[in-house]
Amino acid sequence: MRNLPQPNRSTDRATLTTALSQYQYKGVAKGYAGTAEEVTAVLAVYDAYDAARGVANIALTTPEMDAALKQALHDAYDQTQKRRRLKHVREELFSGVELCPVCGIDPPTELDHVLPRSAYKAVAVYVRNLVPLCHLCNHHKLAGFAEPGELPFLHAYFDQLPDIQFLHAEVRLQDSTLSVTFSIDGLDAVADSLGDKLKNIHIRLNLSERYLAEVNIFLASQAISLHGAYAAGGSQGVKAQLRAQAQYEIRRFYRNHWRPTLLAKLSTCDDFCNGGFIPVFNVPAEILRDAFGS
C-alpha cells in the first residue's frame, strides 16, 4: 500500500466550467448551463474537502446547494470516460500510476470515489476525490466499507503513510513447499488510526491471499538467478542476491510493496538460502547445464 501525489488543482475551474455547460448530442441540447458564481461555489466545496482531508462530514454533502446543480455535477462524472468532454480528468489521474496503490498487483483500471458520488455529488468530478484502483480493490471496497461505524478506507492522497516497514512476510519451508503469510504490523504508535485502517483493509480486501497467488509466479522468475548465486557463493551468495533484488524492487516500486517484502524475508531464511530453494523450483538439470555448464 502506498500514497499517491495529490493531483494538481490548477485546472479545477476550467474542468468545472466544461462540466457545467451545455452541449449538443445528436441534435439535442444536453448538460447544465452553469454560472460563474456556481463554479466558484463548487470550488469552495473543494477547498472544504481539502481542509477536511477528504473525511466525510455533513457539510460536504452540500445540503444548501441547489439540487439541479448537484445532479449536474453527479452526472458530469460520466463525461470522464474515453472520447468524452472530461476525458482529461481520467487521463491525468491514471498517468504515471503503473500499479494499484492498494494491492500493488494489478494496473489501475477504475476511478474510485473516496466519498461516494451518490451522497457527495458536489465532489463527483473533483480530482482529489478520485483515486485510480484496480477492479478487485475497487470492487471489494464498494462491497465492504459502507456500514456505519466501520473504519474508513485509506485515502491515498491525504492519509500519509509512515516511512517504516509495516508490511511483513513470514515464510516456512517444509520439504519442497514454501509457505508465505503476509500481515500488517508495527503501527501501534501511529496516530489517526492509520494502523487500524491498514490492518482492516489488508483483511477485508483479502490481500494476503491475493499476494500468495502471485508468489509462485514471481519467484519462478528468480529461479535461475538464485541457482547462479548458489553456484557462485553458496548460501551467502543467495542471501546477497535476494537482498540486492529486494533493494531494486523497493526502488522500482516502494518500501511496503509485497515483492521486496517477500525477498527481504527470504534472505533471512537459512533453510531456503542453504539449498532449500532448489526443490521448490525444480529447475531441470539440462537448463542449469546450459546456463552454468557442468
Taking only the tens place, the pLDDT of each residue in 201-221 is: 999 899 999 999 999 999 999
Residues 74 and 172 grouped into a single domain: no
Do 68 and 184 lie in a common domain? no
* pLDDT confidence bin for 193, thresholds 50/70/90: confident
187 lies in some domain: yes
The reply to whether 235 falls in a domain is yes
Count of domains forming the chain? 2
Question: Is residue 245 situated within a structural domain?
Answer: yes
Can you list the alpha helix ranges (DSSP code H) found in 167-222? Answer: 194-204, 207-220
192 pLDDT above the threshold of 70 = no
Task: Identify whether 238 is part of a domain.
Answer: yes
Phi first, then psi: give them for residue 162, nearest 5 degrees.
-70, 150
Note whether 59 and 101 are same-domain residues: yes
Residue 18's pLDDT is 95
Q: What is the pLDDT of residues 7-33, one digit of tens each?
A: 999 999 999 999 999 887 787 888 899
What pLDDT is attached to residue 294? 58
- Nearest alpha carbon to residue 112 among 57, 159, 52, 153: 153
Domain range for 62 is 12-144
Residue 86 resides in a domain? yes
pLDDT at 196: 87
If asked whether residues 66 and 128 sit together in one domain, one would say yes
Distance CA 114, CA 229 (A): 46
> Is 60 part of any domain?
yes
Any domain includes 82: yes
**Whether 128 and 17 share a structural domain:** yes
Residues 19 and 71 reside in one and the same domain = yes
Question: What are the tens digits of pLDDT across the range 260-289?
Answer: 999 999 999 999 999 999 999 888 888 988
Structure confidence by residue, pLDDT tens digits, 20-70: 998 877 878 888 999 999 999 999 999 999 999 999 999 999 999 999 999
Do residues 100 and 182 share a domain?
A: no
Closest CA to 46 of 24, 83, 73, 66: 73
Each residue's pLDDT tens digit, 99-119: 999 999 999 999 999 999 999
**Whether residue 215 sits in one domain with residue 135:** no
Q: Is the pLDDT score of 168 beyond 90?
A: yes
Q: Which amino acid is at 71?
A: Q
Give residue 189's pLDDT band: very low, low, confident or very high (50, 70, 90). Answer: low
Average pLDDT value for residue range 225-250: 96
Q: Based on the domain organization, do 277 and 213 belong to the same domain?
A: yes
Collect all residues with Cβ–Cβ distance below 8 Å to 260 and sequence separation of at least 6.
245, 246, 247, 249, 250, 253
C-alpha cell at 85: 468532454
What value does the mean pLDDT take over residues 114-131? 96
Q: What is the pLDDT of residue 149?
A: 64
pLDDT grade for 222, boundaries at 50, 70 and 90: very high
Provide mean pLDDT across the span 130-143: 92
pLDDT at position 262:
97
145-159 residue pLDDT tens: 766 666 788 899 999
Give a yes or no: residue 154 inside a domain.
Answer: no
* Residue-level pLDDT at 148: 60
